[in-house]
Amino acid sequence: MMTGRIAYNGAIHTVTPHAAGGVQLPDGSVLAEDAVVWLPPLLPRTIFALGLNYADHAKELDFKPPAEPLVFMKGPNTVVGHRARTPRPADATHMHYECELAVVIGRTARGVRRADALQYVAGYTVANDYAIRDYLENYYRPNLRVKNRDACTPLGPWLVSADEVPDPQDLALRTYVDGRLTQQGSTRDMVFPVAQLIEFLSGFMTLSPGDVILTGTPDGVVDCPVGSEVVTEIEGIGRLINRIVAEERRTS
């Protein structure tokens, strides 16, 4: 099953894709995709993100693949929905997308074995985890200004239930910037696959329903100037649209 969340007519609704296009509300009415405000398909609890989890991306950044998962945390302020806008800092010279498979935990997991790990997954969605390289101190430990900026992680549009994804390690990923294909890869190339990540994390902490694991991105990241329309898509999961806007000046 595929479900999304929207704001429309003063209320929040859970919707499903309509066969003829657009979204369908529980009462059966159908709305155009661009006639609603899209919210993230879930309210994440704890957000885990992976660094250098694709060997080709590690090579692109002149690093060797890590010996164990490189995990960092993200705040809830980072998450926005489909068709949202993400600000680009005025001083940024290199801000790039990261198309990522997002794994949503469905039940409490502690000390889970890899062979059983996928049983703890509720579903999957698409994430675009932007990074501003100007602020990067260490690729192994991204600092707050790189990965915890407001609205820097679009998520959605759909949450696809785990039973509809037979193998999360056999999905094609693609990114388009202003209609031009700039990134493509496959989840087959993850250094640490989904099941291993769940085993690793649950080995020292409890994972809870609503926790989200962002599993990393393949190579092919490019700078995205203000005005860019960035589309990140994952086979069978969805097509997430986002636009880069100029960051507003803050006043005290």
Name the 3-class secondary structure at 97: coil
The CA-CA-CA angle for residues 41, 19, 5, to 5°, reads 15
Output the six-digit token pair for 128: 């675009």
User: In this predicted structure, what is the pLDDT of residue 57?
Assistant: 61
Q: For the segment 202-249, what is each residue's pLDDT rounded down to a tens digit?
A: 999 999 999 999 999 999 999 999 999 999 999 999 999 999 999 987
Q: For the segment 54-79, what is each residue's pLDDT rounded down to a tens digit?
A: 976 656 665 677 889 999 999 999 99
User: Confidence band (pLDDT; 50, 70, 90) for 81?
Assistant: very high
Output the six-digit token pair for 99: 């198309």
User: In this predicted structure, what is the pLDDT of residue 206?
Assistant: 98
Instruction: Give dist(CA 247, CA 215) in Å, integer.
Output: 27
Helices (H), the chain: 55-60, 144-147, 194-202
* Residue 142 clears pLDDT 90, i.e. is over it: no
Instruction: Give dist(CA 40, CA 132) in Å, integer.
Output: 22
Beta bridge partners of 229: 243
* Residue 31 clears pLDDT 70, i.e. is over it: yes
Instruction: Give dist(CA 212, CA 90) in Å, integer.
Output: 30
User: In this predicted structure, what is the pLDDT of residue 252?
Assistant: 56
Which of these, 28, 2, 4, lies nearest to 14 by C-alpha position? 4
Indicate the burial class of 230 (C-beta count within 10 angstroms; 0-12, 13-18, 19 or more).
buried
Contact 222, 182 (CB under 8 A): yes
Instruction: Give dist(CA 149, CA 152) in Å, integer.
Output: 6
User: In this predicted structure, what is the pLDDT of residue 139?
Assistant: 61
**List of domains in the chain:** 1-39 (2.30.30.370), 40-246 (3.90.850.10)
Q: For the segment 157-208, what is each residue's pLDDT rounded down to a tens digit?
A: 999 999 999 999 999 999 999 999 999 999 999 999 999 999 999 999 999 9
pTM exceeding the 0.85 threshold for the entire prediction: yes
Q: What percent of the chain has pLDDT over 70?
A: 94
Instruction: Give dist(CA 57, CA 49) in Å, integer.
Output: 15
Output the six-digit token pair for 222: 């490019």
Contact 70, 201 (CB under 8 A): no
Average of pLDDT values for 73-92? 96
- Give the C-alpha distances (Å, rounded to integers) separating 226 from 88, 156, 183, 210: 7, 22, 19, 32
Q: Is the peptide bond before 157 cis (omega within 30 degrees of 0)?
A: yes
